[in-house]
Amino acid sequence: MSAQTLNVGGHWMIEKSISPDASEKTTQRVVEIFNEHQRHVHKRTDRVFAGLMALQWLAGVAAALWISPKAWAGVASYTHPHVWAAVFLGGAISALPIFLAVIRPGHVITRYTVAVGQMLMGALLIHLTGGRIETHFHVFGSLAFLSFYRDWRVLIPATVVVAADHFLRGVFWPQSVYGVLTASSWRWLEHAGWVIFEDTVLFIAIRHSIGEMWGIAERTSEIESLNEGLEAHVANRTAQLVTANQELEREVAERKLAEAELAEQRSFLRQVIDLNPNFVFAKDREGRFTLVNQAIAEAYGTSVERLLGRTDADFNPNKEEVESFRRDDLEVITTLQEKFIPEEVITYAGGQVRWLQTIKRPIVSQDGTANQVLGISTDITARRQAERAQRRSDERFRQIAENIREVFWITEPQNNKLVYISPAYEEVWGRSCRSLSEVSRTWLDTVHPEDRARVIEAATTVQGGGNYDMEYRIIRLDGEIRWVRDRAFPIVNVSGEVYRVAGVIDDVTVSKQALEQIKTSLQEKEVLLKEIHHRVKNNMQVITSLLSLQSRTIMNESALSVFQDSQNRVKSMALIHETLYQSKDLSRINFAEYLQKLVAHVSRSYRIRPEAVKISIKVDDVSLPIDMAVPCGLIINELASNSLKYAFPADTRGEINVTFGHADGRYVLRVSDTGVGLPTDFDPERGKSLGMKLVRMLTDQLRGEMSYRNGVGATFEIKFPEEKGETRA
Question: From residue 169, how far is each of 73, 134, 141, 161, 346 by CA, in Å?
Answer: 19, 18, 21, 12, 119
Q: Which residues of 145-174 are buried (b: 16+ CB within 10 A; e: fewer)?
A: bbbbbbbbebbebbbebbbebbbebbeeeb
Interstrand relation of 498-507 and 481-492 (parallel, antiparallel or unpaired)? antiparallel
Look at residue 28 in the predicted model and tell me its pLDDT: 81
Nearest partner of 222 among 17, 42, 9, 39, judged by Cα:
17
Q: How far apart are the first and last CA of the chain?
A: 135
Cβ 567 vs Cβ 547: under 8 Å: yes
Q: DSSP class of residue 441? A: I
For 404, list phi and psi in degrees, rounded to 5: -105, 155
Q: With H, G, I as helix, E, B as strand and everything else as coil, classify residue 475.
A: strand
DSSP state, residue 341: E
Q: What CA–CA distances, in Å, run from 392 to 161, 355, 388, 389, 396?
A: 110, 20, 6, 5, 6
Q: Given the DSSP bridges, would you call strands 279-284 and 370-379 parallel, antiparallel or unpaired?
A: antiparallel
**CA pair distance 361, 274, nearest whole angstrom:** 20
Q: Tell me the backbone φ, ψ of residue 681, rounded to 5 degrees.
A: -95, 20
- What type of residue is 390? Q
Q: Are 727 and 602 in contact (CB under 8 A)?
A: no
SS3 content of the chain, % helix, strand, coil (to 5): 60, 20, 20
Residue 13: the pLDDT is 45
Which stretch of DSSP H or E encloses residue 561? helix 557-582
β-bridge partners, 275: none
Q: What is the pLDDT of residue 505?
A: 86
pLDDT at 492: 84
Closest CA to 532 of 576, 589, 584, 577: 577
Q: How far apart are CA 724 and CA 698, in angstroms?
A: 13
The CA distance from 273 to 266, in Å, is 11
703: which strand partners? none
Query: Which one, of 454, 445, 438, lies nearest residue 477 by Cα?
Result: 445
For the stretch 663-698, what's the b/e string if a residue is b when 16 or more beta carbons lie within 10 angstroms of its beta carbon?
Answer: eeeebbbbbbbbbebbeeeeebeeeeeebbebbeeb
Ranges of residues in the chain with a pLDDT under 70 are 1-23, 63-64, 67-80, 82-83, 85-87, 130-131, 133-134, 170-171, 175-176, 178-186, 393-395, 397-404, 436-442, 517-587, 605-606, 610, 686-688, 723-729
> Across the chain, which distance is largest between two alpha carbons, in Å?
152
Model pLDDT, residue 148: 80
pTM of the model: 0.32
Write the pLDDT tens digit of every residue in 314-365: 888 888 888 888 899 888 888 888 989 888 888 887 778 888 889 989 988 8
Cα angle value 315/324/390 (rounded, 5°): 95
Residue 666's DSSP bridge partners are 663, 721
The DSSP result for 365-420, as a single string, is -TTS-EEEEEEEEEE-HHHHHHHHHHHHHHHHHHHHHHTSSSEEEEEETTTTEEEE
How deeply is 399 buried, as exposed, middle or buried, from its count of CB atoms within 10 A (0-12, 13-18, 19+)?
Answer: exposed
The helix (run of H) or strand (run of E) holding residue 281 is: strand 279-284
Report residue 29 CA to chain centroid gap.
Answer: 56
| 581 closest CA partner among 614, 622, 538 | 538
Q: What is the pLDDT of residues 95-138, one digit of tens each?
A: 788 888 788 887 888 888 887 878 888 777 777 776 676 677 77
Tell whether the torsion through CA atoms of 640, 646, 652 and 654 is positive or negative: negative
**Using one digit for the tens of pLDDT, what is the confidence trace for 505-555?**
888 887 777 777 666 555 544 544 444 444 454 555 556 665 555 566 666
User: How far is CA 144 from each of CA 41, 138, 139, 238, 548, rounded to the nearest angstrom?
Assistant: 15, 10, 9, 54, 126
- The model's pLDDT over 599-648, given as tens digits with 9 standing for 90+, comes to 777 777 667 776 778 888 888 888 888 788 778 877 887 787 788 777 78
User: What is the spatial distance between Cα 225 and Cα 133, in angstroms, rounded to a whole number?
Assistant: 55
Alpha helices by DSSP H, listed for 77-154, are 82-84, 90-103, 108-128, 137-146
Q: Sign of the CA dihedral 168, 170, 171, 172?
A: positive
Q: What backbone phi and psi angles, to 5 degrees, belong to 552?
A: -70, -20
Helix intervals (H) in 131-186: 137-146, 155-172, 174-178
Q: Is the dihedral of CA 541, 547, 553, 556 positive or negative?
A: negative
Alpha carbon distance 678, 716 (integer Å): 11
Helix (H, G, I), strand (E, B) or coil at 665: coil
Q: How far apart are CA 484 and CA 487, in angstroms?
A: 10
- In order, the DSSP letters of 672-697 are EE-SS---TT--TTT---HHHHHHHH
Q: How many CB atoms lie within 10 A of CB 294?
A: 18
